Structure formats: C-alpha cells, structure tokens
Structure 1
C-alpha cells in the first residue's frame, strides 16, 4: 500500500481532498507544506496532498514556495473541495473570548468574526484549532470536525461567500512529463530584475497562442531584488513547452515544469461579475 501525506490533523479540508485523491493509500498527517515535501524528497511517503488555490483568497503561497524548494516534486492530479465553515465550541464552555482558526478560514469568515467582536488566534489548520480548542474559544472549521472532536455547533455556513472552493494537488516525485493537465504550472526565473523582464517571459506564450489564467510573483530570498514568476498556462502542449523553454533560454531565463492541473479553481454557485473591489468599481 502506498503512503500519502496530507496537512493534518484529521478533519482538515486537506484530509477530505486526500480521501478523494488517494483513497487506497495510507494517509499520514503532516504539520506543514515544507515538512510534507521534505518527507516526499526523502522517500518517506509516495506522495502528498496540499492546498494550492482558493476561489476567494487566491493561491496558497506556502505550498508554492515548498514546491519551488523541492526538485523533482511534480503535480500529477488535483481536486476542488467545496468549503463551508461552522462555528464550534467545547460543550458547556465558558463565554467566548477568542476566535481561532487557520488564517485563510478567518479571512473567509471575516464578517462573522467581525460581528462576534472578538480577537482572533491563528492555528496551523482548521482541525488543529478544534483539537486544541480551549473552553473560552470558538473554532471555525469543517463540519466534520464537530463529531471528530466532540464539539458543539454554534452556527453553520459562517463563510462570507457561499460556493467557495479550495483546489488541492497530489504531488509525487514522478517525472514532470507525468504532470500533464489542462493547465500547466511553470516557474520562470529571469537572470535579473530589469525593465521588460516580464514581457520577455510572456511574449513567447503569446506567440504560441497560449493563454494565462494566473500569474504570481515571488521574491528570490537573499537575492538583492530578483523575482521569479509562477505561470498557470492554459492548454500548453508538451511540444509547446519545449519550444517555450528553448526561447527563454536564449535570453538567459530558466524555466521549470511543476506539473499540471485539470483547470483553474472557480467559485461555485451562480456565475456573475463577482464582488469588484471598490477601488476598481464603476466611477472610481
């Protein structure tokens, strides 16, 4: 039986994703993304399941940074899990003084937290918030945590936007060619940060007729100002990737294939124009 790590403890949304992506495997909880990918690199597990994107709060930077730090780690599958939160407390607990959860959960339930008028405490996961919940605290977590940790449900569906989803990826040490998908995730590193650098990275994709569905910039630590780009390229065929990487190499730009996903995470429910930030709304 294969062994697959996930961000634990039991009851996290990552646990739910692992049950879908690696149902036949032995599932092992991991404390954070860097530890999970270190275990993969050391051969201690056959794969890991990690969150990569959320339809409300965007990409999960610790996952992306851990992927960048782990040679050979390749995304070979993904699943999007519907995200809804409940407010939980210890049975017979004292009056609440603090709300505790993962930072992404607190952000997705900001209206509910504001209405409570209580300070917050962050945890490494929604499930950890429940496992370590103090009598004077309220946890925001997945509904499954109520039974797992014998907690009382105070309120359901406390998220600001219904229909939210988090995309989780299955990462292994397979060759990057095995990570083909509808959307290819690429890491691109120019030699220096200079005017026109991003255009040189994107122009070859334009020439190939490849659309981007996302772009994230990450600083290169202790580099004195260098940046790399993470690109979500829609419909990039293997031969196009070879062509793209060759064109980048001509100008001294390095490129790595991090794997493929079935598509870019989308918000559930009725499609619409979404909640446009006020600074970018009509008349601003």
Structure 2
C-alpha cells in the first residue's frame, strides 16, 4: 500500500491530482494507495521527505499564475526527494456560495493562485468584494454554510462534496487553464522524457548565466523551462531551476551535466520523469 501526501482538504485540485496518480499506480503497476491530506504544500512535501508518506503530489506551475515557489524552495532544500512523475490537471474554477445574487457577496476566499487566475472575472463581477487568501481552494468552504455574504473560488467537483450551490461557472480568466503537478519521492529515476535540475552561479559577472545555458545548446538539448528563485542568503543571489527535454540515462545528458559542474555551484539533479495520463477530472 502506497501513501500519497497532498494539499487538502477534501475537494482540492491537489487531491484530484493525487487521486489521478493513485489510479495510475493501480492501472499500470497494480499498487493500491491511500491519500493523506496536509494543510500546506510544505507539510505535504515534508511528509514525503521524512518517510511519513511514500510520495507527495504537489503543484509546480499553473498556466496563468506561474510557478509555485513553495514547491521549488522545498525541493531545493531537500537532500532526499526526487521527481518521480509529472501530470497536468485542467483547472475549472467555480464560485461557490449560498447567495443567489452577486450583489450580496462581500468576501471571496481561495488559494492565492486561484484568486490570481480569476482576477478579470472578479474585477468585472465582484469589484468591491474583499479577497482573502487561504491555504487551499476548499479550506473556507465549511464557513459558507450559513452566510450569504461569503463565497469561495473552488473546483466544481467540490460543490457536490460540500453540498454548496454554484452561483457562477466557469470563472477562469483563461478557459485553457491547467496546473502541472510533480510526484515527489525518495527513489531516484534515471529514465524519462524530461529532467529537472537547479544550480547557483559561482559569481555575479557578465556572461555567468550564459555559460551554462550555452552548454545545452551546443549539446543539442532543449530547455523547456527556466526560472530563478532567490536563495534568501543575499539580495541579488539566485538559484536557477531548469527543465530539459532529455533523459538522465542518455550519455549525452551525462556528459552535459559533467560540463555543467564546471560553471555552476551547488548543482542539484532532481531526476528524470514522464508525464502520466489524467484518468479522472
């Protein structure tokens, strides 16, 4: 039995992603799973890092809101976790409330990512409502039962789970909204269509970043993503997170990583992985 940590509570997109991963494990490997809900993304990741859970399914980036800094920072700080798999969940936001009229709504709750992904709709339909960030898209739902002035931006499927009416749906600013999730665990995978890594630069000089990036070009390896995150050690000091379209077991990839060590500091390899199919939505 495999235990899978995720951001809760029940009805969150993270739970949907974890459920998809559990179905994939059962379908392809015959492995049964149990889901374990945590209040924050760092707590879910720490559960996998400590062995309290076998894996953590956590968001890494959204097509509108961008990257999830907690996931990147926690992965860098961990000495044990690697990326096992990658999956993409379509995001379908709805406005859940006991109110039957938008004019009565004074406060809207949701995760910061969800709020940012609905800003145009909120500006047009609830311009005076106070927006309050929560740890997940479903954390505030129990508060809505007896107050028509409150609303929450949540997954459509959460409306059925919590028995809360849907006043508006969908309210995504972009109908193609989707979130990518990583499956994190302690085993190290060497094969996959993509590999993720991160590093610091040895110094802040002209061309310092160009050198490692040129290596991928000269070796014929495509970068599908690059992002900087502050090290929190000094102003202007950054870590660079990169996804490449290459497998760790490829000799060319190994040769490139050896060259990369010569022009970077604290190079970390997070593993190779595939994108698994979404079975339920």
TM class, shorter-chain normalised?
A: 0.7 to 0.9
Whether the aligned pair in 1 keeps the contact of 2:230 and 2:236 (CA below 8 Å) is yes
Cα distance in 1 between the residues matched to 2:237 and 2:100: 54
Alignment equivalent of 1:34, drawn from 9, 17, 42: 42
Partner of 2:142: 131
C-alpha separation in 2, matches of 1:114 and 1:51: 26
Give the C-alpha shift of residue 88 in structure 1. 0.7
Corresponding residue pairs, total: 261
Residues 1:244 and 2:243 aligned together: no
2:278 equivalent in structure 1: none
Residue 92 of structure 1 and its aligned partner are, at CA, apart by 7.9
Taking only aligned residues, the RMSD between alpha carbons, in angstroms, comes to: 2.0
Helix, strand or coil at the partner of 1:65: helix
Alpha carbons of 1:181 and 1:58: their partners in 2 closer, same or farther (altered >3 Å)? farther
Aligned-partner Cα distance in 2 for 1:144–1:224: 43
In structure 2, list runs of 5 or more residues that go unmatched: 24-31, 276-281
**CA pair 28-164 structure 1, distance change in 2 beyond 3 A:** same
Instruction: Give deviations 1:195-248, integer Å, cap 9, x for gaps.
Output: 211111111111110111111011111235321110111124532332122212
State the TM-score, normalized to the length of structure 1: 0.85
1:266 maps to none
Does the aligned pair in 1 maintain the 2:9–2:37 contact within 8 Å?
yes
- Please, which of 161, 181, 190 is the counterpart of residue 168 of structure 1? 181
Residue 117 of structure 2 corresponds to which residue in structure 1?
A: 108
How many Å separate the matches in 2 of 1:197 and 1:26? 46
Does residue 225 (structure 1) correspond to residue 233 (structure 2)? The answer is no
Normalising by the residue count of structure 2, what TM-score does the alignment of the two structures yield? 0.86
- The structure-2 alpha-carbon separation of the partners of 1:251 and 1:235, relative to structure 1 and needing over 3 Å to count, comes to closer
Distance 2:190 2:82 in 1: 6
> Helix, strand or coil for the counterpart of 1:195?
coil
